[in-house]
Amino acid sequence: MTKISLTVNGTARSGDVEPRTLLVEFLRNHLGLTGTHVGCDTSQCGACTIHLNGKPVKSCTILAVQADGQQLTTIEGVAPTAQQGGDALHPMQAAFKECHGLQCGFCTPGMVMSALGIVERHKNDQLTEAIVRHELEGNLCRCTGYQGIVNAVLMGAKNMGVRVA
Partner 1 sequence: MHAFTYHRPTSVADAVAKRSADADASYLAGGMTLIPTLKQRLAQPTQVFDLAGLADLKGIVVTDGAVTIGAMACHADVALSADVRRVIPALSDLAGTIGDPQVRNRGTIGGSLANSDPSADYPAAVLGLGATIHTNTRQISGDDFFKGLFETALKPGELIVKVSFPIPKRAAYMKFPNPASRYAVVGVMVAETAQGVRVAVIGAGACAFRLSAMETALSKSFSVAAIKDIAIPADDLNNDMHATAEYRAHLVGVMARRAVAAIA
CB nearer to ligand FAD: pick between 56 and 91: 56
What is the number of other CB atoms lying within 10 angstroms of the CB of residue 146?
Answer: 16
Of 110, 96, 105, the closest CA to residue 49 belongs to: 110
CB nearer to partner 1: pick between 89 and 135: 135
Residue 155 contact among ligand FES, ligand FAD, partner 1, none, beta carbon within 5 to 8 Å by kind: none
Question: 147 by DSSP, 3-state: which?
Answer: helix
Residue 112 contact among partner 1, ligand FAD, ligand FES, none, beta carbon within 5 to 8 Å by kind: none
CB of 41 to partner 1, least distance (A): 7
For 33-42, b/e burial (b = at least 16 CB within 10 A) is: bebbbbbeee
DSSP string, 79-99: STTGGGT--PPPHHHHHHHHT
Establish if 75 lies at the interface with ligand FES (CB under 6 A).
no
- What kind and span of H or E run contains 152? helix 147-159
Residue 73 contact among ligand FAD, partner 1, ligand FES, none, beta carbon within 5 to 8 Å by kind: none
Question: 110 by DSSP, 3-state: which?
Answer: helix
Residues that bind partner 1 (CB under 8 A): 2, 18-20, 22, 41-44, 46, 49, 52, 55-58, 61-63, 65-66, 114, 117-118, 121, 135, 137-139
Residue 142 contact among ligand FAD, partner 1, ligand FES, none, beta carbon within 5 to 8 Å by kind: ligand FES
